[in-house]
Amino acid sequence: MKQKIVKSFEESIRTKKRFVEENVDAILEVSKVIANAFNDGNKLILFGNGGSATDASHIAAEFVNRFRIERPPLPAIALNTDMAVITSISNDYGYSEIFSKQLKAIAEEGDVVIAISTSGNSPNILKAIDVAKKKKLKTIAFTGAKGEKLASKVHYAFIVPSDKTPRIQETHITLGHVLCQMVEEILFEAPRKK
């Protein structure tokens, strides 16, 4: 049993190490995209299903409240948190519409969207990205090794090099934390030019 525990941790570490080696430049670029959106008065909108829904909520909370430093709240929202909205849309239009209808209602040009899907094949995620593109939002995907369908639709795709859901989700939440940290540093800790 102990060997299985160690193996799981080692597999997670290897996955994250490979991911960051392949994506460090993109992580920095996306951090700047999000920081610029906040600077311009826009918001960050996140969404996902299942474990990815809780990751979306978790990351939104880090931006709205704080992450590592005391600073003003940043406008981020997770679309999977309002049960009345989700169940109403699901009942009247179908589950595939739960994120796209919300984006139609609240997203504005200049906002940034993070779609989180381990498979990259969720119909409600793909439909929402189509709406985001029509609304001229910056689109970012967190997905896994088989998430080419989602990755092909967005401006920035973070593909975890694994097909194991736990390893993908562990990397996604680390990525979310790193983006929060970088955005805080860009907005509140970077040396200001005079």
Give the per-residue pLDDT at 192.
Answer: 52
Cβ contact 82:92 at 8 Å = no
Among candidates 161, 163, 158, 165, which has minimal Cα distance to 141?
158
Give the per-residue pLDDT at 191.
Answer: 61
Q: If DSSP codes are grouped into helix, strand and coil, which group holds residue 13?
A: helix
Residue 5 has pLDDT above 60, yes or no: yes
Residue 193 has pLDDT above 80, yes or no: no
Taking only the tens place, the pLDDT of each residue in 136-165 is: 999 999 999 999 999 999 999 999 999 999
Structure tokens at 107: 């997203």
pLDDT above 70 coverage of the chain, percent: 97
Give me the count of residues in the chain.
194
Give the per-residue pLDDT at 190.
Answer: 63
Taking only the tens place, the pLDDT of each residue in 160-185 is: 999 999 999 999 999 999 999 999 99
pLDDT band at 189 (very low <50, low <70, confident <90, very high): confident
Give the per-residue pLDDT at 133.
Answer: 96
Mean local confidence (pLDDT), 17-38: 98
Taking only the tens place, the pLDDT of each residue in 38-72 is: 999 999 999 999 999 999 999 999 999 999 999 99
Residue 112 has pLDDT above 80, yes or no: yes
Distance, CA of 77 to CA of 119 (rounded, Å)? 22
Q: 2-189 domain in CATH 3.40.50.1820?
A: no
Mean local confidence (pLDDT), 71-92: 97
pLDDT band at 194 (very low <50, low <70, confident <90, very high): very low
Cβ contact 91:58 at 8 Å = no
pTM of the model: 0.94
Max CA pair span of the chain: 59
